[in-house]
Amino acid sequence: MLQHHILTILIFLPLASALVVALLPKGILNLSKGIALGVSLVQLVLGGYMFVRYQPSPGVHNINGFQFSERIDWIRLDLQGLGKLSTEYFVGVDGLSISLVLLSIVVLLVGVIASWSVEDRKRGYFSLYLLLNASIIGCFVALDFLLFYLFFEFMLLPMYFLIGLWGGPRREYASIKFFLYTLLGSIFILMVMIGLYASVIHPEATAVEMGLVGAGEFVTGEIIAEVQRLLQAGEIPADQMVKTFNLVYMADPANLVPGSFLDNDAVRMVMNYPARFLAFLCLFVGFAIKVPAVPVHTWLPDAHVEAPTPISVILAGILLKIGGYGLLRTAYLIFPDGALHYAWWIGLVGVISIIYGALNALSSQDLKRLIAYSSISHMGFVLLGLASLTAEGVSGAIYQMVSHGLISTALFLIAGVLYDRTHDRMIENYSGLAAQMPQYTVMVVIFFFASMGLPGFSGFIAEILVLLGAFGASTINGLLPKWMAIIAALGLILSAAYYLWTIQRMFFGKLHVKIQHGNNLPDLGKREILMLIPLAVLTLLLGIIPSTVLDLVNDSVTTFVDVILSTGMKNLQTP
């Protein structure tokens, strides 16, 4: 029973709890913290169960290859002569998503603990936090585009208020900027989603509509193949076609309606530009804003600087990964021809993001801004790995999302520890902290070294896989030149420079804190140690035993790369 509903519980438990918290009487508002913590602990247990029970499988383009899946008809509309609309509550995980779901569960739990000191409007804060929790998990498990889009959009609401109401002095500016950038990206994604809906049929529902199988009966693979054959032969009347938002069916070219707007064989042009290439670009821009990639990155430093520490943790640890995951699940799988056509440019954007983010981090005087720009640099490796379309590169991209999720979570907690004590984030205002805060210094050194990709930490495994994939792409598939990997490697040197320089300035020399709390700065408290130690252990574990994640993703990544290269090349060669 649990096996079939575990993802639904992960989504709707925080959603229901958000309503409970919002309705709490004033006399027991402290209970809101306990409810949020209880929800995260239940999710942690369920995540552990998923990790133990998950069996590596290709997934990706096989409707039966997803695990812990649940499918329920959600919306059915008869559009008369235009056919019928079908959308499902369809959730499941494969190798592309399982590690990101587990990452989200861990980071969301850390975020609750980091929020324990919140006293201002607790009921509103924790109800919004729980809404955000549900939306994040929903994005990573949704396999219906409309469902995915609803979760993607729904994240805007709690993030906007959590930054705008509990953030720093410029919180209104930062929250509005975040909202507008993400909304702009959502519009690009929405346009493509509508075009895909008009171009793709649901083969199972269409078989029922045609009378090939009775309602409620099992639809075999042979019947689906027959429906697809009839579709491509133009023998299914328009009023019997059931259109779908199913992401797995959208990724199968056999479900594309011949002559439709996004059909492979009919090269539709929009302003003298192939419609499928334009659709891929729209999805890329929409999700690149979320990654974020240069030049659509400017919302991130402002949002991080003004957001409260727990929300910075969620923003860097999870929300940026939704951009990378969205590219994998939608843009690449549905438009493999676009992925191949724009591989060089995506690689270039990744390289520019790596170097530009690192240079800005090197010049940053604000500790949170430095970490924010380092996130832009490290997420550039995700784009480079995806652009390579090699097994090493794509595995490295997913590994980088998991690794960066853990490391960036710890980095923003570290910045929050200092800010809680002095309300000052300026690097130049500190020196000699090592003598005053030895435990804090150890944690800073661990996570700074992990972020710069030192061997033994998860960051090293992720970045070496991406660089291997990018370097090998020139000979394996010819998509990326070797110089991209060489320039990207310079980002590792720059990250070492800004992290080592920060350690030198803040932690060595004579003790000095500009705001005169310096002579009595307390070291890490029990709650702070409780958050940082597990993150350090996980970062080391993934650096020493990378198979912990790679075994989960390998089968799906291999299938993903094969599908993109084979289908994409076939589509590009179609006259």
pLDDT digits (tens, 9 = 90+) for 495-518: 999 999 999 999 988 887 876 554
Confidence of residue 217 (pLDDT cuts 50, 70, 90): confident
User: Which DSSP string corresponds to 404-473?
Assistant: HHHHHHHHHHHHHHHHHHHS--BGGGEE-HHHH-HHHHHHHHHHHHHHTT-TTSHHHHHHHHHHHHHHHH
Strand partners of residue 201: 243
Residue 265 lies in a domain: no
CA angle 227-231-232, nearest 5°? Answer: 120
Residue 440 lies in a domain: yes
pLDDT in tens, 442-489: 999 999 999 998 999 999 999 999 999 999 998 988 899 999 999 999
Strand partners of residue 242: 84
Residue ranges of alpha helices (H) inside 200-265 are 203-210, 221-232, 247-250
pTM for this predicted structure: 0.93
pLDDT in tens, 314-345: 999 999 999 999 999 999 999 999 999 999 99
pLDDT in tens, 274-330: 888 999 999 999 999 999 999 998 998 888 888 899 999 999 999 999 999 999 999
Q: What is the pLDDT of residue 305?
A: 85
* Residue (of 390, 380, 248) closest to 320 by Cα position: 380
* Residue (of 337, 340, 324, 344) closest to 284 by Cα position: 324
Main-chain dihedrals φ then ψ at residue 308, nearest 5 degrees: -65, 155
Residue 88 lies in a domain: no
Q: What is the pLDDT of residue 424?
A: 85
Strand partners of residue 88: 73
Confidence of residue 575 (pLDDT cuts 50, 70, 90): very low
Strand partners of residue 72: 89
Residue 368 lies in a domain: yes
CA distances from 96 to 152, 514, 568 (A): 17, 47, 19
C-alpha–C-alpha distance, residues 47 and 445, integer Å? 29
Residue at 178: amino acid letter: F
| 520-534: average pLDDT | 89
Residue 96 lies in a domain: no
How, if at all, do strands 512-513 and 430-431 pair?
antiparallel
Residue 239 lies in a domain: no
Q: Which domain holds residue 390?
A: 342-569
Strand partners of residue 99: none
- Average pLDDT of the chain is 89
Q: Which residues contact 303 (CB under 8 A, 6 or more apart)?
A: 163, 174, 175, 177, 178, 315
CB atoms within 10 A of CB 194: 13
CA angle 13-103-89, nearest 5°? Answer: 45
Indicate the number of domains in the chain: 1
User: What is the distance between the terminal CA atoms of the chain, rounded to a whole angstrom?
Assistant: 49
